[in-house]
Chains A and B, each alone.
Chain A
Amino acid sequence: MKKNRIFNTITLLSASVIVFIVLAALLFTGIIDEYNGQLLTLAGIYIIVSLSLNLITGFTGQLSLGQAGFMSIGAYSSAIAMMNFHLPLVVSIIIGGLVTAVFGLLIGFPTLRLRGDYLAITTLGFGEIIRVIMVNLETYTGGAAGLKGIPSFSDTGDFLKDSIIKFSWVYVFVIITIVIVNNLINSSPGRAIVSIREDEIAANSMGINVSYYKIFSFTMSAFLAGIGGALYAVYFGYLNPVMFWFLTSVNFVVIVVLGGMGSITGTILAGVGFTYIQEWLRFFKDFRLVIFGLALIIVMLFWPRGLMGTNEFSIVKFVRKYIRKEHEGGSSKPSKIKGVK
């Protein structure tokens, strides 16, 4: 048992390091240019926010249309932490997450009584209220004109170096987010959360404090979305409440559904895919959004469960399978000889 655990940890750790080294090397050698590096970084931020949404919608079963609102709280609070209080980057990002978590907690309570579409419209309402508040808090947020001059991850003037550093920052946070969501879901509290999605009444009858776990999930989701928002602020160096209106929330819902509700790997794939598709569609200029809308309809009509459904692609299982095949390949030879005899 213990051996397995160590094996799993090492496999996952080395997989994430290898992916990082490969991507960083591709960036460094220019095989992935700075433009694509920027896109990958943006995709990372989308993945973080989408995973936060998947936690509340895909795993807990509570449809939220206000994730952009959470994101904006994280973005503005971390920007203010850096610009007005001159706190270091990491601290500010974590503050962004924590402040958002507090809001998630506050918003979680009133939404306990609501379900389905009522919850969806309420979260949408919260998102819009937050946006209006951001517009009106001009002293801190710059209002509708926006907030400029947020410090960047790296500002050496060397584009290549900057883009690799930006990418690395976001990559680390993506990995942390994946670990948090994955480990949470595959633990007993995580199963309690998923049981709420499956059947609230049965969960209650199995001794699970449904209200507690709904709020917990909301708070956790808000925390992660806040982190995503903070990274977003630093990535763009500029914030405007318009960046967080309700269609932004819709984008994250689209990523989660495209990837498969309740699939972490699905969200990751869809997050990258979505970022690139949005970029490619720029070539179509004015037709961009028409095609995007049509694509959404077509995917929903013909591919309703998304890329992954609720399945996961497991690196550990993949590696295991590969090793076992090698092993079996080795051991099958003697038996063949036996057969010949």
Chain B
Amino acid sequence: MSVMEAKSISIVFGGLKAVTNFDLKLGKGELVGLIGPNGAGKTTVFNMLTGVYSPTSGDIVLNTSREGHNYKSIIKLKPYQITQSGVARTFQNIRLFKDLSVLDNVRIAFHFNVKYNALQGILRTTAFYNEEDEITEKARDLLKIFNLQDKEKELAKNLPYGEQRKLEITRALATNPKVLLLDEPAAGMNPQETHDLMNLISFIRNKFDLTILLIEHDMSLVMGICERIVVLDYGQTIAVGTPEQISKDPKVIKAYLGEGV
């Protein structure tokens, strides 16, 4: 049973075909890696899946029921609607709310599930206090998973790079997603941090019942935790398979290392 499907999506930027006929089926609970050389179109795929760009052709559907088959097209939806439908993401070039506290960064992601309205907020009704307490607690629980609980008052911009990446994942989790898209979560981390992150990603997948698609340059990370890998080059899928299959695939080796190897 698939949770999300991209059906032959393509996008053209001013005549340049950035991604052509990209297909992807994300099975429930799967952890899939999306790899490819620089400029292959990986982030563009993410941007299409999350509504930042709308594909020139093709369709993206999301299974809205947890168990059954109830697919809806999300291609016309705005990014915030897609997030509300259960697809969350992180960004390659970190996009935290820099001048806000770590806690507020996470609490903002809870916002669309908050039931009290602005008027109740201004009048400070009981509903306001109860829900604020609730989301603050939930946010702290999430921060604990990523070992950020002691830094909740710090401004996001003052965190070290690795922790900023972690905070982004925490924030994405706070939207309560079914599908999590991670754009180079280990970029800029050292091998030890990368290793810890790998464990963490596996852990949250099980704990939150997630389906994860991740873009990564760090091969050890991708090979280590992904069940399935999709390889993009020049906007086209050149290989799909298990890590072993991919590592032996001549087309992949050629794409990464060039001819004559």
A binding-site residues for B, Cβ under 8 Å: 1, 5, 9, 179-180, 183-184, 187-192, 194-195, 198-199, 201-210, 216, 310
Contacts and interface: CB of A to CB of B under 8 A. Distances in A.
Contacts of A189: 111, 117-118, 121
B129 A191 contact: no
Interface in B88-108: 88-89, 91, 95-100, 104, 107-108
B117 A199 contact: no
A206 B109 contact: yes
B79 A198 contact: no
A190 B91 CA distance: 24
Contact of B131 (A9, A188, A216, A310): A188
10 contacts: A5-B124, A187-B128, A188-B121, A191-B104, A199-B98, A202-B97, A205-B79, A205-B95, A206-B108, A208-B80
Contacts of B107: 188, 191
B171 interface: yes
B122 A198 contact: no
A187 B118 contact: yes
Given A1-B133, A207-B83, A188 B95 contact: no
B97 A187 contact: no
B164 interface: no
Interface core residue of A189, A206, A208 (most chain B CB under 10 Å):
A206
Contact of B78 (A1, A184, A202, A204): A204
Nearest to B95: A202
Secondary structure class of chain A's binding surface, majority of residues: helix
A191 B104 CA distance: 7
Interface string B59-103: 000000000000000000011100110001101000111111000
* Band of interface residues on B: 35 or more
B114 interface: yes
Contacts of B89: 205
B135 A188 contact: yes
A195 B121 contact: no
Nearest to B171: A206
B175 interface: yes
A145 to B, nearest CB: 40
Contacts of A184: 118, 121-122
Contacts of A192: 108, 111
A310 B118 contact: no
B50 interface: yes
A5 B129 contact: yes
B122 A179 contact: yes
A202 B117 contact: no
Given A189-B121, A206-B83, A210-B80, 12 more contacts: A187-B118, A187-B132, A188-B135, A194-B100, A195-B97, A195-B100, A195-B108, A199-B95, A206-B112, A206-B175, A207-B83, A207-B111
B80 A207 contact: yes
A225 B98 CA distance: 29
Given A187-B122, A188-B135, A207 B100 contact: no
Give the 3 A-B CB pairs with smallest separation, nearest first. Answer: A187-B121, A198-B97, A207-B83
Given A184-B122, A187-B118, A187-B122, A202 B91 contact: yes
Contacts of A310: 99
A183 B100 contact: no
A198 B100 CA distance: 8
Interface core residue of B52, B78, B97, B117 (most chain A CB under 10 Å):
B97
Contacts of A209: 78, 80, 112
Nearest to B168: A202
Contacts of B175: 206-207
Given A183-B122, A210-B80, A310-B99, A205 B108 contact: no
A9 B97 CA distance: 29
Nearest to B106: A206
A54 B132 CA distance: 24
A339 B256 CA distance: 71
A143 B234 CA distance: 65
